Amino acid sequence: MSKLCGRVWFLPEGKPPSLPEVAAPRPASRVTTDALLAWGVALHLSVPDDQIAVTRRCLTCGSRTHGKPLAVWARSGRVAAGASCSHSGGLTAIATTSHEVGLGVDVEDARRPMDWRTVHEQAFTPTEWASISGCGDISTRAYRAWVRKEAALKATGEGLLVEPRHVTVTGPADSAGWLPYAWTSRLITAAGPQAFVRDLAAPAGYVAAIAVTRLPRVCPSCGT
């Protein structure tokens, strides 16, 4: 399959050195998220930060005040690049790509206690839970499946408008390397895979995954 021309950053405390100080106190706030996305896209495209703006588009109502973030050119409002951001604990993940595809990234602190046996019916399908609980470290395996699932939902723009238990991804024992994942969805009804997902090498104690809605053949930036 084609490679994806993109970049991923893992930022302690959610703040790269060049980001304005206003972004530091609340790494999970919308203001900070937008600033981080604009910073990542500008760096990826090698343009000044002020040339990139971040807006929103809701999949269900079309509103521009909420929904999936979009990195656009500040002057024209046209989409500049794919971008996604995730926060967990003291870490922020930013992903960007030059391709015009839906992009989603998710990172989780796998050290955070979670009673998966209690919440698994809301988070996973029966097939997924059988794979997760069958052997090994349930917590780490559950977090691995969860980041794949949330990254895919971010890529499509559905987010948690779709109940996670209706989304099926390959089990945590299976490798994710731009593999297709199909699921049932009340918002997207097209048959077949809806996203391609792969695991990311995250800092110690964290798990992360990235997803795209399709794999382009040629990168518009580098031509590969």
The yes or no reply on domain 6-212 and CATH 3.90.470.20 is yes
- The pLDDT value recorded for residue 204 is 93
Q: For 131-158, what is the mean pLDDT?
A: 85
pLDDT at 175 over 90: no
pTM of the predicted model as reported, rounded to 2 decimal places: 0.80
Q: For 97-109, what is the mean pLDDT?
A: 86
pLDDT tens string 145-167:
899 888 988 888 877 667 787 77
Buried b vs exposed e over 13-37: b needs ≥16 C-beta within 10 Å? ebbbeebeeebeeebeeeebbbbbb
- The pLDDT value recorded for residue 107 is 95
Cα torsion 188, 191, 194, 199: sign: positive
**142-156, 187-201, 206-220: least confidently modelled range:** 187-201
pLDDT at 24 over 70: no
Domain ranges for the chain, please list them.
6-212
For residue 127, what are the CA distances in angstroms to 121, 130, 172, 211? 11, 5, 12, 21
Cα torsion 82, 91, 150, 145: sign: positive
Q: Are 71 and 83 in contact (CB under 8 A)?
A: yes
Q: For 32-52, what is the mean pLDDT?
A: 89
